[in-house]
Structure 1
Amino acid sequence: MGEQICATKSIALLSSHREEGEETKQLQIHDALSLQEEQLKFTETFQLSLSVMKRILLVFILAAAVMYGILHGNLWRNNFYWISFYGQTSSVRASTSYVTSGITITYDELPPTAVERRNALDTCLLKPAFESLLGVDKIYPFLCANDFIRVAQFQGSNKFELPYGIKRAEQFFRLALSRLQNCGLSSEEDSIACRRCVVVGNGGVLRNKTLGEKIDSYDVIIRMNNGPVIGYEEDVGRRTTFRLSYPESIFSDPIHYDPNTTVVLIVFKPRDLKWLWEILGGQKISAKGFWKKPALNMIYKSSQIRILDPSITRKTAYEWLHFPTRFPKKEKPKHPTTGLIAITLAFHICHEVHLAGFKYDFTDRNSSLHYYGNETMSQMMQNEYHNITAEQKFLKKLIDKNFVVNLT
């Protein structure tokens, strides 16, 4: 009987151990499943986080690429692009050379001083339409004695002879520039971020228009040759910032002297540079080699005189008026008028350009050519050195496209 009781207890104890073992096994399985489930959740969370991080990284990469494109696109646009005025887009100047007017131009490094001068022109945050559509890349318009050779090499002016480059006239430029004390715009013009400019032509259309007060309200007023202001203030104003001239057209009468005017010499031939060197050095002036008698005395100080970069004249002739580099032997070579060169200058130093005095009446040969004097349109029609028809068509395009505002 006792043995049966012991056996029964042993069986019960064994059964209890088996149940405990099963519970332990079940707990272990449950713990393993829980751990596996947690690992799966962690893996899913990690993969989700990794996916989000990849997307964020991709967004940053795309944003960086866009910013790179914008910044470098602006850099190319400000320095090397050319978008044709006539609506055709050419390739960006990404190579070290390009071809213009049948001549290959190779880029050299622009001197740091020239870079600083050019950057000083581009201070306005609002970019005008003509800057992109006319390919105006803010060439600094005046030559400086210390780096004009390197600037000419950079812009290709060493490939062209006067009036479109410095080729075979380097020594004459060096002599003339050595007489000048300054090559900057002026402290007043440099301080203006967005320059409003008016280019005042000499056309007879200015007579009795009483635009004098309005013209004087602009930041920069550009005039040309010997167009007077004394006696015509009501129609053309009193102030002059820049006056573009040749040796044959510069004022020599002290009555026209203005201490606030900067005279910009357009160099047409080496003799013009020799004239400037001689007249500023107090030497005797020879009138030989000029189409009419040049000024024999200088009323302006050397600090008031600048020499226009020939690339400005070249751009006007070849890129805007599409003049050929060579004319037939029986045809006299055509060159841009001072007025159109003055407009080109304005596009390089101004952010808003208005015009006055550029409209002519070709239907009446007896109509006034200038707002001063007695010359008539018949004199202009006989001029063989300018293509007035081509210039008038170009001006009409500028006005129609709202690149400029015509006051007359």
Structure 2
Amino acid sequence: MTGLPVMKRILLVVLLAAAAMYVILHCNLWKTNVYLLPPTATRRKSGLENCSLDPPFESLWNVICRRCVVVGNGGVLRNKTLGEKIDSYDVVIRMNNGPVRGYEEDVGKRTTFRLFYPESVFSDPIHYDPDTTVVLLVFKPHDLKWLWNILNGHKINTNGFWKKPALKMIYKVNQIRILDPIIIRKTAHEWLQFPTKFPRKEKPKHPTTGLIAITLAFHICNEVHVAGFKYNFADRNSSLHYYGNETMSEMIENGYHNIIAEQKFLKSLVEKQFVVSLT
């Protein structure tokens, strides 16, 4: 290492520290398989001997049909009254801070998995659900350090985040998981064909939490349905989410996602009958 520039040494140390923290957190947070479903999911029975669709990827479970729905946060869910149907699935996957409380008629009330990153996790206890397993998406070393500090009661350094991260965790330790980075890599490089390196002057692109959630669903479900993933690009003032007042203009101006590419890819999944869209 003596011949390496100082910055390369620092980068190497950071990467090694992040890797070590990743392993430690895995060992401390759970002792089972990372993809093992929580008891609330395994207790439910779909009553189906066979899935109506062949799984596009081989499921990790071959005993029963496991039907999953990935619920996006799109404004298209407003006034669709899909709540009861969404709750009928064996596994319900949600993402970020898309609320359930107050929107049950449109989005349901059950949540099996909720994918998040430090800037998007709930911090208000009003949203706490004891039957939900929350899954951290790690995009940078700061994310792992954030989780380590928040679980150990250390002061949270908010530097290095694109907006202020949560300063407290409303979920219990046994409800927390860390998503295998392979899932994110598959979404970015195999599905969306993003390059592994971006030019310095170009903002690096990464997949939305929603598409990452769909990738995860393909690894744990026999049958995958989606809802809330349709956006109206023609109207910049249309609702971005089924909650709040954000508009499509904010999504269009976001330089870190390629929403058009994701919409085209998702459309191809629906056309090939790999997934079923409820909206």
In the superposition, the TM-score normalised over structure 2's length comes to 0.84
Matched to 1:279, the amino acid is I
Indicate whether 1:241 and 2:112 are aligned: yes
Structure 2 partner of 1:384: 255
Indicate whether 1:393 and 2:264 are aligned: yes
The worse-fitting range, judged by mean Cα deviation, of 262-271 and 277-286 is: 277-286
The equivalent position to 1:171 in structure 2, one of 20, 25, 37, is 20
Tell me how far 1:293 sits from its aligned partner: 1.0
Identity of aligned residues (%): 74
Indicate whether 1:295 and 2:144 are aligned: no
Tell me how far 1:178 sits from its aligned partner: 4.3
| Aligned residues of 1:179 and 1:302 also touching (Cα < 8 A) | no
Aligned equivalents of 1:181, 1:318: Cα separation in 2:
28
Indicate whether 1:370 and 2:222 are aligned: no
The equivalent position to 1:253 in structure 2, one of 108, 117, 124, is 124
The worse-fitting range, judged by mean Cα deviation, of 276-285 and 381-390 is: 276-285
Larger radius of gyration: 1
Aligned equivalents of 2:240, 2:26: Cα separation in 1:
35
The equivalent position to 2:194 in structure 1, one of 323, 328, 331, is 323
| Structure 1 residue runs of 4 or more that deviate by more than 3 Å after TM superposition | 181-184, 187-192
Provide, for residues 100-156 of structure 1, a one-character-per-residue CA deviation record: whole Å limited to 9, x for no partner.
xxxxxxxxxxxxxxxxxxxxxxxxxxxxxxxxxxxxxxxxxxxxxxxxxxxxxxxxx
The equivalent position to 1:208 in structure 2, one of 56, 79, 83, is 79
Aligned equivalents of 2:149, 2:197: Cα separation in 1:
32
Partner SS, residue 169 of structure 1: helix
Aligned equivalents of 2:94, 2:155: Cα separation in 1:
28
Matched to 2:37, the amino acid is L
Tell me how far 1:278 sits from its aligned partner: 1.1
In the superposition, the TM-score normalised over structure 1's length comes to 0.58
Tell me how far 1:180 sits from its aligned partner: 1.0
Structure 1 partner of 2:54: none
Structure 1 partner of 2:218: 347
Tell me how far 1:169 sits from its aligned partner: 2.5
Indicate whether 1:194 and 2:71 are aligned: no
The equivalent position to 2:179 in structure 1, one of 304, 308, 331, is 308
Aligned equivalents of 2:42, 2:106: Cα separation in 1:
28
Aligned equivalents of 1:242, 1:188: Cα separation in 2:
10
Tell me how far 1:336 sits from its aligned partner: 0.3
Structure 1 partner of 2:60: none
Tell me how far 1:176 sits from its aligned partner: 2.7
Work out the number of aligned pairs and report it.
244
| Aligned residues of 2:117 and 2:136 also touching (Cα < 8 A) | yes
Aligned equivalents of 1:322, 1:248: Cα separation in 2:
26
Distance change (3 Å), C-alpha of 1:167 and 1:355:
farther
Structure 2 partner of 1:267: 138
Tell me how far 1:297 sits from its aligned partner: 1.0
Matched to 2:273, the amino acid is N
| Aligned residues of 1:263 and 1:304 also touching (Cα < 8 A) | yes
Aligned equivalents of 1:186, 1:387: Cα separation in 2:
32
Structure 2 partner of 1:39: none
Indicate whether 1:222 and 2:106 are aligned: no
Aligned equivalents of 1:330, 1:278: Cα separation in 2:
33
Structure 1: tracts of 5 or more residues without a match: 1-160
Larger RCO: 1 or 2 (CA < 8 Å, sep 6+): 2
Tell me how far 1:190 sits from its aligned partner: 4.5
Structure 1 partner of 2:8: none
Indicate whether 1:185 and 2:46 are aligned: no
| Aligned residues of 1:179 and 1:280 also touching (Cα < 8 A) | no
| Aligned residues of 2:38 and 2:112 also touching (Cα < 8 A) | no
Distance change (3 Å), C-alpha of 1:312 and 1:254:
same
Tell me how far 1:350 sits from its aligned partner: 0.4
Structure 2: tracts of 5 or more residues without a match: 1-10, 46-63
| Aligned residues of 1:245 and 1:264 also touching (Cα < 8 A) | yes
Tell me how far 1:407 sits from its aligned partner: 0.4
Aligned equivalents of 2:133, 2:145: Cα separation in 1:
20
The equivalent position to 2:209 in structure 1, one of 334, 338, 349, is 338
Provide, for residues 60-116 of structure 1, a one-character-per-residue CA deviation record: whole Å limited to 9, x for no partner.
xxxxxxxxxxxxxxxxxxxxxxxxxxxxxxxxxxxxxxxxxxxxxxxxxxxxxxxxx
Distance change (3 Å), C-alpha of 1:313 and 1:403:
same
Tell me how far 1:167 sits from its aligned partner: 6.8
Structure 1 partner of 2:156: 285
Partner SS, residue 29 of structure 2: coil
Provide, for residues 2-25 of structure 1, a one-character-per-residue CA deviation record: whole Å limited to 9, x for no partner.
xxxxxxxxxxxxxxxxxxxxxxxx
